[in-house]
Amino acid sequence: MKNTKHSSTGNLNHQPHSGPQTSLEAQESKWGPRPPTPPGIRTAAREYANPVEYDHPYESMDRFADFLALRYDANRTRHSYYRQLRLIHQHLACDPATLTEAQLRDYFLFVKLQKHWKPKSIRQALAAAKMFFVDLLSQPHWPVFSQIRTKDHDTLPAVLTRQQVRALLAQVRLRRYRTPLKLIYCCGLRLSECLGLTIHDIAGKENKLLIRQSKGNKDRVVPLPTPMYDELRRYWAFHRHPLLIFPNVGRGDHDPKSLAQRMHQATCPMPHSSLQRLLIIARKHLNVPAASVHSLRHSFATHLLEAGAHLHTIQKLLGHKQITTTMIYLHLTHQSAREALRLMDELCRSLPR
């Protein structure tokens, strides 16, 4: 690959590092268990600790942390449920084990009517309360647990047209940020899945990308378009990090040599907020309706469906457990709407005047 000048647009084709392995292909290995992570480097933007390691204000919360460690494998899941119990403790300023049913009912009224929590958050808090009071403390089944009902709001996710996607990506001038955004759209990745990629997750010759320990702690394989793989090769050739594809840029000089050195020595992936902030700026500049990085994933699924991809294929690509989750994109396709309008026109024309 030729060296090119690092322009003000953030071109990452410049190759300041030299060594025996000068390409991403040389770093790729056959898939299997991910090799041990080099010391001091993490592949997740945020590492969640096991709640058993927390400082617990009460013995009952210590027991709940042990309970979660036995029931769940992912620290993020353990943290989420423990956090819900901690919020109850902080709001009522007492040991959760001493709460009465009336106090717990008042707490859920507070988060629903005053804090305006979303249904998903209320369900998570309810699940944590059930585990703590019923499963751990063996409390009798309080009626409040069956009284709380939450229904998701029927809101459709924001989806961009292909033209809007192209305009948004073109608005992100620095290639070191534009490339991961392109990958999210081209492969339908979640933000955390994209930024957590390593050199061991790419099989470029097979046009495949391995997503490890995604939502639900599951792995999946997605196709990797050849142009996107070529761009990843150029991206990695700039910094040649020993593990990460998208290492943290850090702060400092923006000349190519300093930038590449910081990325090569990074100990964590690029932070989520970097891409989220830049996409918001681009969206506002183009007067595009509210959209986020995750909207690129929604747009990927919708555009594939419009192009004729099978719904079950899209389900596998996105890593959805239930087909009903994927079916929401049926409501978002412009092609379906146009076809419905054509049929409705025919029905109307057949009616007497």
Q: Which residues are catalytic?
A: 190, 215, 294, 297, 320, 329
Task: Please tell me the distance from the alpha carbon of residue 328 to that of residue 153, in angstroms, as a whole number.
Answer: 13
Distances (CA, A) of 4 to 12, 13, 88, 232, 330: 9, 6, 57, 16, 44
The dihedral sign for the CA sequence 163, 165, 167, 169:
negative
Tokens 């090769």 sit on residue: 233
Task: Please name the residues in contact with 243: beta carbons below 8 A apart, sequence gap of 6 or more.
Answer: 37, 38, 41, 43, 198, 199, 200
Task: Please tell me the distance from the alpha carbon of residue 21 to that of residue 242, in angstroms, as a whole number.
Answer: 11
Token output for 197: 């990629």
Name the E strands within the chain: 202-203, 208-211, 220-223
